[in-house]
């Protein structure tokens, strides 16, 4: 497939690019700082452009089979980035009639799993309080997705780690895996690539966790 990856220098974005290239896909990595992209290959095109300008992004998404985004706040100070930049991506995709979009969100935006333990509820309450601005940003992003014409999927992992990919994780379309406390960034990327052709995930939030 021909894929475009936004946020390609982030932890998940780097993994999406590497794994997509390893699977034989043609990848366009859209970045702000090409020096931070460690992946390389003959099927990789690196595009440095203004992510806030939809017109500048049209060439990056034109003719692509799918767009994958790892865009998001690197810290609480960056809250607002996910919604603002994803809005630019959606506008560019609509202009070029590209429909498939997969983005990274977060587990707290999904419904609480049945039988959630008291400890998990307490930890989640603390996390929600600390990262409330980041999650508010992601909620706006998901709201924009829901009203767009895109065939979107919002992938919602819990706490992220830098462990190697396993390919062994649980997914719940429209829900949240119970007792799912962590997931490697590499496995988030693996899940996103696997969902590109899965019609059950279209216009859905998908919980992913070990």
User: What CATH number did the domain enclosing 27 receive?
Assistant: 3.40.50.720
The pair of structure tokens assigned to 36 is: 């931070």
- Residue 77: what pLDDT? 63
- Residue 128: what pLDDT? 63
- Which string of b and e fits 52-76 if b means at least 16 CB within 10 Å? eebeebbebbbebebbbbbbbbeee
pLDDT digits (tens, 9 = 90+) for 147-169: 999 999 999 999 999 999 999 99
Instruction: Quickly state the pLDDT bin for 119 (edges 50, 70, 90).
Output: low
> Which residue matches tokens 């919602």?
156
Give the chain's domain count: 1
- Residue 133: what pLDDT? 86
- Residue 75: what pLDDT? 63
- Residue 205: what pLDDT? 98
| Other Cβ atoms within 10 Å of 151 Cβ, number | 16
**More confident site: 202 or 80:** 202
CA distance 208 to 145: 19
Section 130-151 average pLDDT: 92
Section 181-190 average pLDDT: 97
pLDDT digits (tens, 9 = 90+) for 8-48: 999 999 999 999 999 999 999 999 899 999 999 999 999 99
Domain that holds residue 87: 2-209
pLDDT digits (tens, 9 = 90+) for 168-185: 999 999 999 998 999 999
- Residue 116: what pLDDT? 67
- Residues 53, 85: contact at Cβ < 8 Å? no
Secondary structure (DSSP) of 116-161: --HHHHHHHHHHHHHTHHHHHHHHHHHHHHHTSSSEEEEEE-SEEE
Instruction: Quickly state the pLDDT bin for 92 (edges 50, 70, 90).
Output: very high
- Residue 113: what pLDDT? 78
> Which residue matches tokens 């970045």?
31
- Residue 118: what pLDDT? 58
Section 95-119 average pLDDT: 87
Asked if the model's pLDDT at residue 122 lies above 60, the reply is: no
CA 97: distance to chain centroid? 20
């Amino acid at each position: 497939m021909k894929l475009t990856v936004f946020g390609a220098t982030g932890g998940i974005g780097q993994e999406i690019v590497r794994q997509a290239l390893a699977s034989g896909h043609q990848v366009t990595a859209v970045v702000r700082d090409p020096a931070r992209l460690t992946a390389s290959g003959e099927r990789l095109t690196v595009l440095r452009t203004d992510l806030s300008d939809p017109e500048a992004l049209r060439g990056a998404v034109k003719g692509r089979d799918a767009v994958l985004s790892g865009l998001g706040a690197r810290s609480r100070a960056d809250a607002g980035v996910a919604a603002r930049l994803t809005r630019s991506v959606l506008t560019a995709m609509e202009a070029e009639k590209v429909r498939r979009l997969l983005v990274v969100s977060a587990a707290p935006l999904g419904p609480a799993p049945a039988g959630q333990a008291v400890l998990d509820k307490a930890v989640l309450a603390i996390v929600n309080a600390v990262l409330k601005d980041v999650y508010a940003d992601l909620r706006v992003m998901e709201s924009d997705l829901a009203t767009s014409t895109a065939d979107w999927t919002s992938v919602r992992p819990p706490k992220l780690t830098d462990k190697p990919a396993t390919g062994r994780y649980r997914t719940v379309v429209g829900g949240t895996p119970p007792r799912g406390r962590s997931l490697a960034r590499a496995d988030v990327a693996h899940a996103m690539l696997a969902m590109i052709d899965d019609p059950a995930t279209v216009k859905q939030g998908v919980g992913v966790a070990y």
